[in-house]
Amino acid sequence: MADVNIEKAPSGQEGQGFFATTLDGAVGLARKNSLWPLPFATSCCGIEFMATMGSHYDLARFGAERVSFSPRQADLLMVMGTIAKKMAPIVKAVYEQMTEPRWVIAVGACASSGGIFDTYSVLQGIDRIIPVDVYVPGCPPRPEQIIEGILKIQHLASTESLRRRESEEYKTLLASYNINQ
Ligand code: SF4
């Protein structure tokens, strides 16, 4: 039990009285364990997120308990629920107001693909308007699945190069969504 919730250091060189690692590794460690989620919850999947934040599943164990409703103070957008086409510009505006580095999880079938609502009024997945890093399947997904999604984001955050957000590949990705950096 002693090692529970003890974060491992990134790989590096250590000796008596010193430990050296890369800047990417140190920053990745900090980012991984201080995600600030912005829950954009529109329907049933949002209820599962509430359970994920509760004491039983306790998202605080992953350093992500500081939920933000201000896009400028959040780095993880979690879209949970059906997104009507009328609401799509709002989701995009929230994403654009977030600072880099930012990550996105599409939680549940509706956010990922429109789900059962294959209709004229529902956006058929939020990746039509913003880039998505992780998709969590399910209708609704259980809290364990949402936590799995967070763990995948943590992996991305801890292994991402500090130069990625400045790369041509990333700029091209945003440009394909008509998003200015
Ligand atoms: S995926 Fe299912 S549970 Fe989630 S918002 Fe859509 S209909 Fe509701």
Residue ID of nearest Cα to ligand 1 atom 5: 81
Mean pLDDT in the chain? 93
Q: According to the model, what pLDDT value does residue 181 have?
A: 72
67 within ligand 1 shell (Cβ under 6 A): no
Give the per-residue pLDDT at 2. Answer: 56
In terms of phi and psi (left: phi > 0; alpha: psi -120 to 50; beta: otherwise), the region of 145 is alpha
In this predicted structure, the answer to whether residue 156 has a pLDDT above a threshold of 90 is yes
Q: Provide mean pLDDT across the span 25-31.
A: 93
- The residue whose CA has the least distance to atom 6 of ligand 1 is 110
Question: In this predicted structure, what is the pLDDT of residue 6?
Answer: 75
Question: Residue 71: how many CA atoms within 13 Å on its side-chain side?
Answer: 16
pLDDT of residue 3: 60
State which fold the 36-145+152-176 domain adopts. Rossmann fold (3.40.50)
Q: Which helix (H) or strand (E) holds 49?
A: helix 44-53
Q: How many CB atoms lie within 10 A of CB 26?
A: 14
Task: Provide the token pair at 126.
Answer: 């939020």
Mean pLDDT, range 6-26, rounded to an integer:
89
Q: Does 83 contact ligand 1 (Cβ within 6 A)?
A: no
Cross-strand bridge partners of residue 79: 40, 106
The predicted structure's pLDDT at residue 171: 95
User: In this structure, which residue's CA is closest to atom 7 in ligand 1?
Assistant: 139
* Sequence letter at residue 64: A
Could you read off the pLDDT of 129-142 as tens digits, one per residue? 999 999 999 999 99
Q: Whose CA is nearest to atom 3 of ligand 1?
A: 140
Which of 82, 116, 145 best tests ligand 1's pocket when mutated (most atoms within 8 Å of CB)? 82
Q: Is 107 in the pocket of ligand 1 (CB under 6 A)?
A: no
Q: How many angstroms does the Cα of residue 25 sit away from the middle of ligand 1?
A: 37
* Distance (Å, whole) CA 51 – CA 76: 18
pLDDT for the residue 5? 66
Which of 45, 79, 87, 122 for a ligand 1 pocket mutation test, highest count of atoms within 8 Å of Cβ? 45
Q: What is the pLDDT of residues 82-120, one digit of tens each?
A: 999 999 999 999 999 999 999 999 999 999 999 999 999
Q: Considering the entire predicted model, what is its pTM? A: 0.93
> Which candidate, 78, 131, 83, 132, places its Cα nearest to that of 107?
78
- Closest alpha carbon to 110 in 84, 144, 132, 91: 84
Q: Which atom of ligand 1 is nearest to the CA of 108?
A: 1
- pLDDT score for 141: 97
